[in-house]
Amino acid sequence: MKKIKTLVLVATFVMSTSVYSQEKQEKNVVYTNVIPIIFLRYLNFHYERVLSNKITLLVGAGFWAGKIGLSLFGYTAEAETLITPLKFGFGFYPARRPLRGFYFLPNVVLYYISAKNTEGWQTASFHTINVEFGHRWIWKDGYMFDLSIGIGIVSSPEGETESYYSGILPTHVGVQVGYAW
């Protein structure tokens, strides 16, 4: 009887391992966060690559152009503005299924801002150090859906003497869609 129980246990383990290993394991995903696109007209693209069974590498970039009221270097005016953020980070997937399920993603975002006013083009930059938490689903055909939130430390723009919001703030709300392969 003991041999039968052991045999059933081993067979169950082998079968569950083979079923789990047959699941397609994606190594790459590209996606965009639709919230900034809908509400801010801000384009953003991200690429995430599996490095190990728990860790991924993330790079992202964005672009926003338009007219906004700015206060840069002591000037306050409506200005033609370009904002280009660059994002770098590492994703950690505790369940050992990278790109799927729950994750936390520490990252750094560098923001480059150029604004044109009556004095010409002015530039500034600042950065945020963030941690995002989320959950990602990937279907068999490769389509991806992701929900996430994040908080971070926000710096003041370099070279600025005026007071800006800085400190620990909400920095990310995400509804991402994309494709994994």
Number of separate domains in the chain: 1
Q: Does 147 reside within a domain?
A: yes
Token pair recorded at residue 167: 């400190």
| pLDDT average, residue stretch 150-162 | 76
Q: Does 89 reside within a domain?
A: yes
Q: Does 119 reside within a domain?
A: yes
pLDDT of residue 165: 65
pLDDT at 4 exceeding the cut of 90: no
pLDDT at 124 exceeding the cut of 90: no
Structural domain boundaries, residue 53: 39-180
Token pair recorded at residue 173: 């709300």
In percent, the amount of the chain with pLDDT more than 70 equals: 77
- Cα 43 to Cα 174: distance, rounded to the nearest angstrom: 13
Q: Are strands 55-72 and 143-154 parallel, antiparallel or unpaired?
A: unpaired
Instruction: Label residue 106 by pLDDT band (50, 70, 90).
Output: very high
pLDDT digit string, tens, across residues 7-33 = 555 555 544 444 344 467 999 999 999
Across 78-89, b (16+ Cβ under 10 Å) vs e yields ebebebebebeb
Q: Does 71 reside within a domain?
A: yes
Provide the whole-model pTM: 0.78
Q: Does 13 reside within a domain?
A: no
Q: Does 19 reside within a domain?
A: no
